[in-house]
Amino acid sequence: MDKFNIVMDKIARRDLTVGIVGLGYVGLPLAVAFARKGVKVLGFDKNASKVDMVNKGRNYISDIPEDDFKAAAAEKSLAASTDFSRLAETTAIIVCVPTPLDRFKKPDMRFIETACVDIGRYMKPGTFISLESTTYPTTTEDFLKPIIERESGLKEGIDFWLCFSPERVDPGNKTYKTANTPKVVGPLGEEAKAIAMALYGIAIEHLYPVSSPRVAEMVKILENTYRLVNISLINELALLSGKMSIDIWEVVEAAKSKPYGFQAFYPGPGIGGHCIPLDPFYLEYIAKGFNFDLTMIDAAGRINNLMPYRIMNKIAYALNRRKKAMNGSKILFLGVSYKPDIDDTRESPALLVMEQVARKGAIVSYHDPYVPETFDEHGRLWKGVDLSDETIGSADCVVFTTNHSCFDVPHIVETADLVVDTRNSVKSVRIENGKVFKL
Ligand SMILES: NC(=O)c1ccc[n+]([C@@H]2O[C@H](COP(=O)([O-])OP(=O)(O)OC[C@H]3O[C@@H](n4cnc5c(N)ncnc54)[C@H](O)[C@@H]3O)[C@@H](O)[C@H]2O)c1
């Protein structure tokens, strides 16, 4: 049998080891999804403590249902290692390493590069490699392929196959998890397509193949750029509406009654998380290489960057109505994760607001039932406080920054002296009522 048929045969018999490189928010759930189907999974991570936790059967990603993780661990099909030479044991490798932007908003490709060097050095001929990290279109063909060919001395399409398949995980989503979220698959060539469909078909319920990796790379960026632009648009309209005494949330609810052509987006203190604030800027980076300016992304990014300052101004405005200065006022923030009911604070706008307000001399504290402590972008450690009546009542201003469903909003509003609501947590108040001020 040739290499292609050997791989297809192994997948059909589920007699293969899938290597997952990078065991974070994306990699570990995917590892569990394969392991749950009885496929042997060997995870790789540079972080020894994560590897250790996986091998001890300890789950550190809250989005993975505990039962799924335990079942995968019990089947003994999930293991992890820091020894990348063990990539030689795998038939398929899925790369889920970080793709941050550097401080000049340029893609930092070091993690992908290191992963590709390790893969090229240790993989065996006849390996299928899929990249899931978000990145700019052309990465798989123009960045991954040359590194892997150089390190391995092997030829893409003959000795190994490549694919890009974006991850769409929506942290905190109770309905859609890794296995039941439709997955776009962008293979390089017909053989890669057959392998990708057979392999991912084991763990993922719905696959949507596209004609090339670069189409799949663009799909991911389109999805997140669409969100960036629309959230920035609604934030800008929210700011204008506030000035015009129009309740933007009432506007959105009414617009939703249109049965076609409108999708609701909601205002807030800004965009957070690991994807939406970053992904469109991969596209901006590659577009510059084509002498092309992405003006929509640029404008959306600017609105988003200003949101924490606008929220700070709103807090200053509310305090001012009480004849209080921000300097020296006690301000309690409720929620620091970037969206409700999760513990992820990456790029969280709440932290940016807290940081700015603290710089103006306010005495800042926060409460978040999901985040006992967290670091801001300058490495400052913030420790959460308990949400007692005393904490609420003694604050000069309480700010709703994340709409966690467990917050007892009526009680908090009743106990607080002054409230700034950036999330429409206080449904009974429209724009402001002397005590509650909305975005
Ligand atoms: N978190 C999300 O919601 C989400 C959603 C869709 C796409 N993505 C994309 O998926 C990719 C991974 O994101 P994540 O949230 O899982 O990141 P993460 O930081 O949670 O996990 C990445 C893991 O990779 C490990 N790592 C770094 N370099 C490595 C290397 N060379 N070899 C092996 N392991 C290495 C890190 O130690 C870490 O454990 C990113 O490109 C991200 O943009 C993330």
What does the pLDDT read at residue 310? 94
CA of 135 to the centre of ligand 1 (A): 12
Q: Which fold has domain 228-438?
A: Rossmann fold (3.40.50)
Contact 315, 359 (CB under 8 A): no
Ligand 1 nearest-atom number relative to CA 26: 16
Ligand 1 close to Cβ of residue 46 (< 6 A): yes
Catalytic status, residue 397: no
Among 96, 112, 173, which residue has the most ligand 1 atoms within 8 Å of its CB, making it the best to mutate? 96
What confidence tens digit (pLDDT) does each residue in 130-188 have?
Answer: 999 999 999 999 999 999 999 999 999 999 999 999 999 888 888 998 899 999 999 99
Which of 297, 268, 301, 264 lies closest to 283, judged by CA? 297
Number of continuous H segments (helices) and E segments (strands) in the chain:
15, 15
CA of 169 to the centre of ligand 1 (A): 12
Ligand 1 close to Cβ of residue 252 (< 6 A): no
What does the pLDDT read at residue 217? 97
Average pLDDT for 58-72 = 87
Burial 82-104 (b: 16+ CB within 10 A, else e): eebebbeebbbbbbbbebebeee
pTM, to two decimals:
0.92
- Close Cβ partners of 35 (under 8 Å, ≥ 6 residues apart): 41, 72, 75, 77, 78
What does the pLDDT read at residue 74? 79
Which of 202, 176, 41, 193 lies closest to 130, judged by CA? 193
What does the pLDDT read at residue 260? 97
Task: Report CA Rg, the chain.
Answer: 24
Contact 165, 130 (CB under 8 A): yes
Domains 3-211 and 228-438 share a fold: yes
What confidence tens digit (pLDDT) does each residue in 183-241 have?
Answer: 999 999 999 999 999 999 999 999 999 999 999 999 999 999 999 999 999 999 999 99
What confidence tens digit (pLDDT) does each residue in 242-272 have?
Answer: 999 999 999 999 999 999 999 999 999 999 8
Ligand 1 close to Cβ of residue 111 (< 6 A): yes
Q: Is the pLDDT of residue 378 over 90?
A: no
Residue tagged active-site, from 96, 163, 275, 397: 275
What does the pLDDT read at residue 68? 87
CA of 112 to the centre of ligand 1 (A): 10
DSSP state of 365: E
Question: How far apart (Å, rounded) are the C-alpha atoms in residues 23 and 37?
Answer: 18
Q: Which CATH class is domain 3-211?
A: alpha beta
What does the pLDDT read at residue 288? 92
Domain positions in the chain are 3-211, 228-438
What does the pLDDT read at residue 63? 83
